[in-house]
Amino acid sequence: MSLSIKISVLAILQLLAIRTLADEPPRLDVPVADPSAPLTFIAYGDTRFTQRDGVANAVARRALVARMASENPAAIFIGGDLVYEGSNPEDYATYKTETAAWSQAKIPIFPALGNHEFQGCDKDLSPSPCLENWWRAAAPSGVRSFRWYSVTLGPKVLVLVLDSDSSLKPGSGQRTWFEQQITQAGSQMEFVFVVLHYPPVRDPIFPRAKDEKEIARYLSKHTHSLHARVVVVGSHIHNYERFRRADVTYLVSGGGGAKPVPPLRLFGELSKLDTAVNFHYVRFRLESGDLQGTMVRFDTNRPGETAWTEPDRFEVKAKDSLPPRKNRS
């Protein structure tokens, strides 16, 4: 083989490698100045930013946004239904206006796709006008043309942001990517968060929406072999629930402003809240392998600071921070 042919073959291989890398969903990074310092981040969903009446409580939505800004978290993750109608750019304009405090504080925002991101569009169109609106107005820089992606929060937390409206069945593109990400997270990762719209575990009175239970099935089989502890945060149900299955913590956090839907709180739900309406977000604080989760609730019927309570708290410890199994009580 001549030198010129070798150079041409090498150039083609380099281009193919670059294209393959470019075709992969991006890995975004939130740098942490001091990895040993406590890390705070937030997750919630079903905000439904819009000017329409009757589909969301704008007072609660704005109060939650302001409270989160005051916490100055390292990042905010939103589990879908960011807007009410994804085909309407005005809903995204409302999102931008109402979250100006986040922008001013330079808080990174990482949304997942929900069913309302596609409302008003024909899903068979490619690319969908609704997706174009989401990529342009909500998705982080670098995510354009992708529907799922990953985020690292410092050296110890990996977040997989999934698209519930794309297949999660074995062999699908998203499922293959998900398995690669979670199994190759690396020994330095203490926690893997999965953020998606349809919650894999929730009060069974609410029917399964698509393939979300595939995530719970996979984790039930493989979580014991993973180095990292796994936490799954879904939305869609306009309330708050907490479960634990196969050593995985599952949260429903859909109290971002959408019209509330009271759950039954049966079938192993752990928070046992006695309130039907729960506008809220979930604050996570990681320190020395100890992850503290707090449900921060806003009551529209109470004035001032009395509107804010923290009625559910839970703890998830990194596997490396636990004593050997034989010494556990």
pLDDT tens series, the chain, 329 aa: 454 444 343 343 333 333 334 589 999 999 998 988 999 999 999 999 999 999 999 999 999 999 999 999 999 999 999 999 999 999 999 999 999 999 999 999 999 999 999 999 987 777 789 999 999 999 999 998 999 999 999 999 999 999 999 999 999 999 999 999 999 998 999 999 999 999 999 988 887 889 999 999 999 999 999 999 999 999 999 999 999 999 999 999 999 999 999 988 888 999 999 999 999 999 999 999 999 999 999 999 999 999 999 999 999 999 876 555 444 43
pLDDT of residue 225: 94
Measured CA to CA, the distance from residue 294 to residue 311 in angstroms comes to: 8
What does the block give as tokens for 133?
């609106």
End-to-end, the C-alpha distance of the chain in Å comes to 68
d(CA 9, CA 205) in angstroms, rounded, equals 58
Q: What is the pLDDT of residue 309?
A: 98
Q: Is the separation of the CB atoms in 198 and 190 below 8 Å?
A: no
SS3 54: coil
Q: Which residues contact 92 (CB under 8 A, 6 or more apart)?
A: 49, 83, 133, 134, 136, 137, 138
Among residues 161, 200, 197, 164, the alpha carbon closest in space to that of 181 is found at: 161
Q: Give the span between the Cα atoms of 48 and 82, in whole angstroms.
A: 5
Query: What pLDDT, on the 0 to 100 scale, is given for residue 8?
Result: 44
DSSP 127-157: S-HHHHHHHHHTSPTT-TT-S-EEEEETTTE
Torsion region of 99: left, alpha or beta (phi above 0 gives left; psi -120 to 50 gives alpha):
alpha
Task: Please give the Cα distance from 137 to 59 (Å, whole number).
Answer: 23
- Torsion on CA atoms 294, 29, 85, 205, rounded to nearest 10: -40
pLDDT at position 42: 98
Rounded Cα–Cα distance for residues 64 and 78 (Å): 13
Q: How far is CA 199 from the centre of its chain?
A: 11
| Token pair listed for 11 | 């150039």
- Rounded distance between C-alpha atoms, residue 223 and residue 318, angstroms: 13
At residue 138, the pLDDT reads: 98
Residue 70 and residue 40: Cα distance in Å, rounded? 12
Distance between CA atoms of 27 and 14, rounded to whole angstroms?
21
DSSP 94: H
